[in-house]
A and B are shown apart, each in its own frame.
Chain A
Amino acid sequence: EVQLLESGGGLVQPGGSLTLSCAASGFTFSNYAMGWVRQAPGKGLEWVSTISLSGGTTYYTDSVKGRFTISRDNSKNTLYLQMNSLRGDDTAVYYCAKDFIFRGVQGIVDSWGRGTLVTVAS
Chain B
Amino acid sequence: EIVMTQSPATLSVSPGERATLSCRASQSVTSNLAWYQQKPGQAPRLLIYDASTRATGIPARFSGSGSGTEFTLTISSLQSEDFAIYYCQQYNNWPPWTFGQGTKVEIK
Contacts and interface: CB of A to CB of B under 8 A. Distances in A.
A109 B95 CA distance: 14
Contact of A112 (B45, B55, B89, B91): B45
Contacts of B87: 44-45
Contacts, number: 56
Contacts of B98: 47
B21 to A, nearest CB: 14
A110 B89 CA distance: 12
Interface residues of A, number: 20
Contacts of B55: 110
Interface in A26-61: 44-47, 50, 59-61
B15 interface: no
Nearest to B1: A62
Nearest to B4: A44
Contacts of B96: 47, 59, 61-62
Interface of A: 44-47, 50, 59-62, 95, 100, 106-110, 112-115
9 contacts: A44-B100, A44-B102, A46-B99, A47-B95, A62-B96, A108-B49, A109-B44, A109-B46, A110-B46
Top 7 nearest A-B pairs (CB, nearest first) are A107-B91, A112-B43, A107-B97, A59-B95, A47-B97, A45-B99, A44-B102
